[in-house]
Amino acid sequence: MDSAAAGIRNGLFLLEPMPKEIPEMPEPQAICNDVSRSAIFIVATVNGGAEEAATVRSWCGDVAALVRSVGTRAPAGKLSCVCAFASDAWDRLFGAPRPAQLHPFRDIGVGERQALGTPGDFLLHIRADHMDLCFELATQLLGALGDAVTVVDEVHGFRYFDMRDMVGFVDGTENPTGRIADKFTLITDQDPEFAGGSYVIVQKYLHDMEGWNALSVETQERIIGRKKLSDVELDASVKPSRSHSSLTTITDENGDEVKIVRDNMPFGRLGAAEFGTYFIGYARSPSPIEQMLENMFIGRPPGNYDRLLDFSRAVTGGLFFVPSAEMLESLADRDAPAVAAVESKPDTAPTDEPRHQGSLNIGSLKGIPQHE
């Protein structure tokens, strides 16, 4: 199977055979940590040329130490950080070898219903039970990078009651845990040079809460595929094939469900009427998440799309590779790739325009048509 990854054959999702046991491998980053009460998601681009690229490479060796330094001040806060890199950035910063399935985010969908890639060279997923820990670590990490990078998207997420998303349903119910989560998220012998690594896809969704809240609870439940209060999955006899839970459930050629680890977080700004969910999904290949997005935005079969997208709009998208903790530290010692000096990106250069928390100058959904 090529590095573009699996697809659909005879209506079934195909992925490399699941290893029965996870062999000894480098320590992964904190991708399968328990869901926290707070999170900061930062997507940034690397500025300038060779000097700025060298700064980022050197910084890779300091990330773990900065996490320890901040985290030891409040051990009960469960501070962690995942650092990941996009395809183009990997080539510019580190060169060969490169992760086998790392590629730019694939645009999916047409018209008003689209999942589109947006600028971003690296991702920071910072988690803790207290926002002050997240904020302090983000300050230290970005401070160490200085003018070498530009933040293009920043979202501060929070746990909403009993693990609910902004539209009121429990999120992440089907997440695998423990060793099972490792099997679904960690690269093993299918790409041995990058064992212990993972892939992560992120998207920021903005919700039309006025339109959503105008729906009956029963209609909302049919769109999601679960009971709103109890979180119990609707019976197959009444759950629509276009429900969110139906379209994001995929199986391999043996009929076994292919899972991912989600750590989504709600976010919002009342003054801007901005209400959203930051989707973040980890997997050992980008293919299952890409297939889920295709089912949602195009439909399974085509046209039978996720009705949640009538009330939720994806405004960012990025695919990143998460090196193991050991590899992340060792990237500081990588030589610069044997290519021309990195050129600055005019489309991501800082401007004098006002910026919003949530970034990309994305505001509210006031202009989205209301739905019945």
SS3 318: strand
Is the per-residue pLDDT at 88 higher than 80?
A: yes
Tell me how far apart the alpha carbons of residues 4 and 286 are, in angstroms, rounded to a whole number: 9
Tell me how far apart the alpha carbons of residues 213 and 184 are, in angstroms, rounded to a whole number: 35
Phi, psi for 157 (deg, rounded to 5): -105, 160
- Six-digit token pair at 254? 């043996």
The pTM for the full model equals 0.85
pLDDT for residue 25: 83
Q: Which residues of 118-147 are buried (b: 16+ CB within 10 A; e: fewer)?
A: bbbbbbbbbbbbbbebbbbbbebbbeebee
Residue 301: asked if its preceding bond is cis (omega within 30°), the reply is yes
Considering the candidates 121, 153, 165, 171, report the single residue annotated as catalytic: 171
pLDDT for residue 243: 97
> Comparing 139 with 353, which gets the higher pLDDT?
139
Span of 7-21, 144-158, 263-277, 340-354 with lowest mean pLDDT = 340-354
Q: What is the band of 13 on the pLDDT scale with cuts at 50, 70, 90?
A: low
pLDDT for residue 3: 42
Q: What is the band of 20 on the pLDDT scale with cuts at 50, 70, 90?
A: low
Contact 357, 272 (CB under 8 A): no
Active site residue 171: yes
Average of pLDDT values for 41-64? 96
Average of pLDDT values for 290-301? 97
pLDDT for residue 182: 94
The tens digit of pLDDT for each residue in 315-342 reads 999 999 999 999 999 999 999 998 544 4
- Six-digit token pair at 36? 């926290």
pLDDT for residue 111: 86
Tabulate helix, strand, coil % of the chain (nearest 5): 30, 25, 50
pLDDT for residue 112: 85
**Mean predicted lDDT score pLDDT of the chain:** 88
